[in-house]
Amino acid sequence: MHGWTIGIIGGSGLYDVEGVEDGHWVDVTSPWGQPSDACFVGRVGHVKVVFLPRHGRGHRVSPSELNARANIDILKRLGVTDVLAISSVGSLAEERAPGTFTIADQFIDRTKGRSSSFFGSGMVAHVSMADPVCPRLSALAAEAARAAGATTHEGGTYLAMEGPQFSTRAESHLYRSWGCQIIGMTAMPEAKLAREAELPYALVGMVTDYDCWREGEDAVDVAQVIAQLSANAAKARGLVMHLLQNLPEERSPSPIDTCLDAALITAPQVRDPALLARLDAVAGRVLR
């Protein structure tokens, strides 16, 4: 049993957190390359907080150019125990209107060309992604979202597209036929990498717009998205503070904490020392 260190990955519109005590920016070097930004580290009561702006301060990193491996790696190096990801998304369902929040519980990965694993030749591992989010953290996030005044939907499938362009109408209709409720550009491979790093992960999708599936409506544009961002961000800050202030002092173990126990497949005598060295933070628990 030990305390919480919550990693918060802030998406479009959420570039900082308020109310953090002893807050200061920390630069962390990763063997996986350059992360999006430094991390803002502090505490709220008994909870340690590590905030990472996913696109960097000033929103300077494109979704397709995010180094999700470095981002997850530095959170692990800073002692994060659980990750709350906050993302702006489009809606693929009528009832999930702009301004509402969705606590995603499934993902479909339609990204391409992104590095989606810490493991590879010389150290192969296969983690389960059947249930890609932490139900405990997701429930806490939903409670906090409602406390912050957001109409909140628990559960929903997030379609992760490559971007940075928005969908075609044909794609939007296809994703709806697959049963997806929200669409975004950043949750994958982020959620996969968090699982490989044994970090329980929950995602809050803040709806900014309807995707282009609705008949008779103009296509999505950036001005429409930005107009909704500030209202969503205010609720997101309230969500974060409510969550942090109401976590129990002791963090009970999660099965995700040890998911690598049954994931490693490469025999010890043929493991690549160079790759093992890069895995010191995300998989050091099982490789030492």
User: What percent of the chain is predicted at pLDDT more than 90?
Assistant: 88
178/157 Cα distance (integer angstroms): 9
Q: How high does pLDDT run on average in the chain?
A: 94
For residue 188, what are its two tokens?
A: 């994958």
Q: What amino acid occupies position 17?
A: V
CATH class of 5-287: alpha beta
What is the C-alpha to C-alpha distance for residues 56 and 150, in angstroms, rounded to an integer? 25
Q: Residue 229's pLDDT is what?
A: 82
16 a catalytic residue: no
pLDDT at position 249: 93
CB contact at 8 A, 184 and 161:
yes
Omega prior to 164 cis, within 30 of 0: yes
pLDDT at 142 over 60: yes
| pLDDT mean over 167-180 | 97
pLDDT band at 14 (very low <50, low <70, confident <90, very high): low
What is the pLDDT, as a whole number, of residue 228? Answer: 82
Global pTM reads 0.95
Neighbours of 250 (CB within 10 A): 10
Q: Which of 73, 211, 221, 272 is catalytic?
A: 211
> Which pLDDT value is given to residue 203?
98
Of 14 and 229, which is predicted with more confidence? 229
Q: How confident is the model at residue 12 (pLDDT cuts 50, 70, 90)?
A: low
Question: What local confidence, expressed as pLDDT, does residue 233 receive?
Answer: 86
Q: What mean pLDDT is predicted for residues 149-169?
A: 96
pLDDT tier at 17 (50, 70, 90 boundaries)?
A: confident
Active-site residue among 82, 105, 209, 280?
A: 209
The token pair at 247 is 């976590």
211 is catalytic: yes
Confidence of residue 197 (pLDDT cuts 50, 70, 90): very high
pLDDT by residue (tens digit) across 208-264? 999 999 987 776 667 777 778 888 888 999 999 999 999 999 999 999 999 999 999
Answer whether residue 1 shows pLDDT above 60.
Answer: no
- The band of 13, judged by pLDDT with boundaries at 50, 70 and 90, is low
**pLDDT tens digit sequence for 54-89:** 999 989 999 999 999 999 999 999 999 999 999 999
